[in-house]
Amino acid sequence: MKKVKAYTEEELEKNLENQEYKYGFTTDIESEVIPVGLNEDVVRLISSKKNEPTWLLDFRLKAFAQWQKMTEKDWAHVNYPEVDFQAISYYAAPKENVEVDWDDVDPELKATMDKLGISMDEQKALSGVAVDFVMDSVSVKTSFKEKLAELGIIFCSFSEAVQDHPDLVKQYLGSVVPATDNFYAALNSAVFSDGSFCYIPKGVRCPMELSTYFRINEANTGQFERTLLIADEGSYVSYLEGCTAPQRDENQLHAAVVELISLDNAEIKYSTVQNWYPGDKDGKGGIYNFVTKRGICHTNSKISWTQVETGSAVTWKYPSCILKGDNAIGEFFSVAVTNNHQQADTGTKMIHLGKNTKSTVISKGISAGFSNNSYRGLIQVNKNAKNARNFTQCDSLLMGDKCGAHTFPYIETKNSTAKIEHEATTSKIGEDQIFYCNQRGIDTEKAINLIVNGYCRDVLNKLPMEFAVEAQKLLEISLEGSVG
Amino acid sequence: MTTTTLTKKDILLESLGQLNFTNEPDFYQDLRQQALAEIENLELPTSKTEYWKYTRLGKIVNKTYQVTSGIEINIDQHLIPALDANIIVLINGLFNKSLSNIQEQEGVKVLSLSDGKERGVVIRDHFNKYTSTKSELFLALNNAYHTDGVCIHAEKNSIVEKPYHIINVTTGNQTISQSRNLFIGETNSSVKIIESFVNIEGSENFINNVSEIYVGENAQLEYNKIQNKEDESYQISTEQVYQKANSNFTINTITLDGTFVRNNLNIEVDAEGCETNLNGIYLGKDSNHIDNHTIVDHLKPNCNSNEVYKGILDNNSVGVFNGKVFVRPDAQKTNAFQQNNNILLTDDAVINSKPELEIYADDVKCSHGSTIGQLDDEAIFYLQARGVGKRSAINMMITAFAKDALGRISIEALKEYVDNKIETRFGN
């Protein structure tokens, strides 16, 4: 028994430490990068490069003016050196003309996708997933566009949407996450480069999973994505977002904004798998991931966030739901894994405004190495939210005695009919559980995998099939180690 | 008599500065000077201060307070019936000998803090030891300007049978009181203390009190805090607890009434084998604002802590609960349990609950739960089906809900007293 225990603790830890980032490679494509630094001219330059209308430039300038007045907040349970916003280039676009046939696409770019395991052709053939592939800010290829267009679904890059559907963009941009919401949302609003735009018309059920892959590629380019997703009355959409970044030593900044609008009777399912470069085992390098994600639910509508977070050196992310309409439902399912020197401060906000609104929060944190993993959540029931219901469960699993797991739930209730339950537990994998598996011929490594997988099952089950497989692979990368 | 305004820190300090402590031994004067230096760097908390996020100080700092010794009062109605205890009375932060009734008990010394400062070597060893590291304005104010209080020192191996009941009175109008207690339980000792906070005649009195509690090896200490302040009155109250090996500390915080109540309970568990129990009930009514902040800091392995706080909020009262459990890297095999249950009786009542865990050790069992809800409809129906009227059924349920957290009170007479208070409030 003792031997087994020694293996669990030390060997596993060692394996975790030595686990290198599988997806670390750089694609060698010439990019057009504007000089580093940030000032009003840069904002104007980005806007003019993208040939944007005046209202959008005004939106950016207003956000920029506000951002200059704002300071970075330090309430999150993370530590990182101050980001030098003047040392980042705010725009990078592949130089080659991208409006070409799939066959003409730079072979290297294709290779990148292959390495990512999302080869276009394969994706097209096997899964029927339409991929809006974003490589350093400019959409390279959008497939299945025609098929979607038949149903009236708009799924394109953000810049295209600005040109082709300015009214929709103008109406909803900044309506859920105002330009001045927080420090990083303001920064994003000022300098966002590109992103995805999606509109599902009334009563349409999107026939396939919409998916976009982000990948930070150019060294020293912070990527500022903007996603705007509108589900019109009675529609349904499932949207997948996955992110990987090549291995780099400098810290890269990612400050995205995602806005979801779920109109009456609509449903949005938004899934994320994030495995950006977490830095090496000494905590050097890695992505700073400061993301603002928020959705608004109108009457009888539903937004469901599912996330599997295994990457990034520092994560600061709270996908939220504003349950504005009566009977609206918000859900949040999360697995966050931190290893080595990673830090994550993540969770959700559920704002109950309408009557009979419901929210469910399931958060599973796993910390290993020297990492710190925090859950921070807010459940707010306002005065008119009669019969609001919330269930929150956040569990933390600790592997090794140098890591930390923290829970910071905020519960604010102003209505007597609200029913709110919150529970949290923190523990490690029980020796008895491992012993039980050992007894039945399952070695310790596999046993840990089994237990971790079971522990995360509630969340992994919520992922669409295509993603669940990848998520499990990522958990393996993060925790399984090289043995076995 | 000194007049002070709390709106600006400087004015407050200037006025409080007229209090004269020059007859104290140098040692204590130096401590006051240190606190004064600390105050220079501290500001009044605002809503931006995370630690004070849900509690606004506007109501209490916009007033002019005075320091008075108080008038002759009758404390009879604040005695706990059938309780055989030593009575100690503090009025506006000063020790009142004539109203107190203390019988000599073997192995325990009870002094006013000012007497203790003159005579006690032990007091010097413990005084200000557990408060100096926390930079909090109201704690620093008490450090610098506390008037008097009670010092209870249970000597080694002494089992003190008879509990001590401190009646901490504020009286007069717009009086500020800064009382300061020191409770020392030496190795193998056992002592029980009750402190009632009451307001007699007059309103808008503000008490900023601090208790330092030291629980030695194998010692047991139970502290029951009863807050029953009628009329308009404000309280900011801080306990700093320090636990040695295998000690057992229990605190019951019962808030029955109070316009503004803020409790800061900080427990440092700095040795192995300790047990810590923190229980609380808060019953808000009218426009009461009741805020409980607790911190249990586990620094060493093999300790247990249990925390249960229950709140019932009526009318437009506001309840705040913030419980924090730290488990430091060395504190393996810690079991920490934290629970907060609330019932809102009206739509104007508000509860903000924030149970937090910060864990840096892996071999631990920590959990917390927080609920906000109403009474179980089916349980009420069950009672109704057996001929209990709806109103009584509801009252029965509420009473049972609140009494759940009374289990750790070991003094029977006190338990009954609190029981009665809850029943008169919610009973038939």
What token pair was written down for B173?
Answer: 């109008």
- ∠A417-A422-A425 over CA atoms, to 5°? 170
Residues 6+ apart with CB under 8 A from A465: none
Closest residue to A428, CB basis, from B344, B355, B363: B363
The predicted pLDDT at position B307 comes to 93
The predicted pLDDT at position B319 comes to 93
CB B362 within 8 A of CB B393: no
pLDDT over threshold 80, residue B213: yes
Alpha carbon A352 to chain centroid distance?
A: 23
pLDDT over threshold 70, residue A431: yes
pLDDT over threshold 60, residue A138: no
Residue numbers in B near A410 (CB within 8 A): 352, 354
The predicted pLDDT at position A128 comes to 39
pLDDT over threshold 90, residue B42: no
Whether A187 contacts chain B with CB within 8 A: no
The predicted pLDDT at position A221 comes to 46
Residue numbers in A near B368 (CB within 8 A): 407, 422-424
Q: Give me the percent of chain B exceeding a pLDDT of 90.
A: 40
The predicted pLDDT at position B375 comes to 80
Closest residue to A412, CB basis, from B329, B352, B361: B352
What token pair was written down for B321?
Answer: 């609960």
pLDDT over threshold 90, residue A293: yes
Closest CA to A292 of A407, A184, A145: A184
CB–CB contact A401 B366 (8 Å): no
The predicted pLDDT at position B15 comes to 63
* Cα–Cα distance measured from residue A177 to residue A477, given in angstroms and rounded to the nearest whole number: 34
Please write the tens of the pLDDT for every residue from A220-264.
Answer: 445 788 889 999 999 999 988 866 555 554 567 888 899 999 999
Please write the tens of the pLDDT for every residue from B143-171.
Answer: 888 888 999 999 999 999 899 999 999 88
State which residue of chain A sits closest to B340, comparing Cα positions: A422
Which range is most confident: B9-13, B50-54, B221-225? Answer: B221-225
Residue A7's pLDDT band (boundaries 50, 70, 90)? Answer: very low
What is the extent of the structural domain holding A177?
2-480
The predicted pLDDT at position A348 comes to 93
Mean pLDDT to the nearest integer, B385-406: 88
Mean pLDDT to the nearest integer, A48-71: 88
Residue A328's pLDDT band (boundaries 50, 70, 90)? Answer: very high
pLDDT over threshold 60, residue B220: yes
The predicted pLDDT at position B145 comes to 87
Give the other-Cβ count within 10 Å of B79's Cβ. Answer: 15
The predicted pLDDT at position B327 comes to 92
The predicted pLDDT at position A122 comes to 42
Residue numbers in A near B371 (CB within 8 A): 419-422
Residue B232's pLDDT band (boundaries 50, 70, 90)? Answer: confident
pLDDT over threshold 90, residue B19: no
CB A301 within 8 A of CB A266: yes
Phi, psi at residue A256, to the nearest 5°?
-100, 160
Pairing state between β B94-101 and B86-91: antiparallel
For residue A391, the one-letter residue type is F
CB–CB contact B362 A411 (8 Å): no
**DSSP string of B73-132, one letter each residue:** ---GGGSPTT---EEEEEETTEEEEEEEE----TTEEEEEHHHHHHH-HHHHHHTTTTTT
CB pairs under 8 A between A and B: 114
The predicted pLDDT at position B99 comes to 87
pLDDT over threshold 70, residue B6: no
The predicted pLDDT at position A286 comes to 80
Mean pLDDT of chain A: 78
Q: Give chain A's domain count.
A: 1
CB–CB contact B366 A423 (8 Å): no
What token pair was written down for A408?
Answer: 């910071």
What token pair was written down for B82?
Answer: 């059938």
Question: Which of A386, A416, A417, A429 to mutate to probe the B interface, most B CBs <10 Å?
Answer: A416
Give the other-Cβ count within 10 Å of A238's Cβ. Answer: 19
Residue numbers in B near A406 (CB within 8 A): 356-359
Question: Dihedral through CA A393, CA A398, CA A401, CA A405, nearest 10?
Answer: -30
Please write the tens of the pLDDT for every residue from B106-146.
Answer: 888 898 888 888 877 778 888 888 876 667 888 888 888 88
Please write the tens of the pLDDT for every residue from A387-426.
Answer: 999 999 988 888 878 888 888 999 999 888 889 988 888 8
- DSSP label of A480: I
pLDDT over threshold 80, residue B72: no
Indicate the helix (H) or strand (E) that contains A121: helix A120-122
Residues 6+ apart with CB under 8 A from B174: B63, B64, B65, B66, B204, B205, B206
Residue with token string 């413990």: B126
Mean pLDDT of chain B: 87
The predicted pLDDT at position A472 comes to 74
CB–CB contact A427 B364 (8 Å): yes
Residue numbers in A near B360 (CB within 8 A): 403-404
**CA distance, residue B101 to nearest chain A CA (Å):** 45
* Cα–Cα distance measured from residue A352 to residue A333, given in angstroms and rounded to the nearest whole number: 18
Closest CA to B225 of B157, B309, B302: B309
Residue numbers in A near B369 (CB within 8 A): 421-424
Closest residue to A406, CB basis, from B344, B347, B358: B358
Phi, psi at residue A158, to the nearest 5°?
-65, -40
Residue numbers in B near A419 (CB within 8 A): 371-374
Whether B332 contacts chain A with CB within 8 A: yes
Q: Among A82-86, B213-217, B313-317, name the one with the lowest average pLDDT.
A: A82-86
CB–CB contact B356 A399 (8 Å): no
Residue A427, Cβ density class (10 Å: 0-12 exposed, 13-18 middle, ≥19 buried): middle
Please write the tens of the pLDDT for every residue from A170-183.
Answer: 999 989 998 888 88
The predicted pLDDT at position B236 comes to 92
Closest CA to B207 of B141, B281, B253, B284: B141
- DSSP label of A105: S
* Cα–Cα distance measured from residue B222 to residue B253, given in angstroms and rounded to the nearest whole number: 11
**CA distance, residue A344 to nearest chain B CA (Å):** 14
Residue B48's pLDDT band (boundaries 50, 70, 90)? Answer: confident
* Cα–Cα distance measured from residue A428 to residue A398, given in angstroms and rounded to the nearest whole number: 5
**CA distance, residue B287 to nearest chain A CA (Å):** 14
**CA distance, residue B187 to nearest chain A CA (Å):** 32
Whether B286 contacts chain A with CB within 8 A: no
Give the other-Cβ count within 10 Å of B35's Cβ. Answer: 20
Can you give the pTM of this predicted structure? 0.82
Please write the tens of the pLDDT for every residue from B351-372.
Answer: 999 998 899 888 888 888 888 8
Indicate the helix (H) or strand (E) that contains A150: helix A145-150
CB–CB contact A403 B365 (8 Å): no
A186: β partners: none
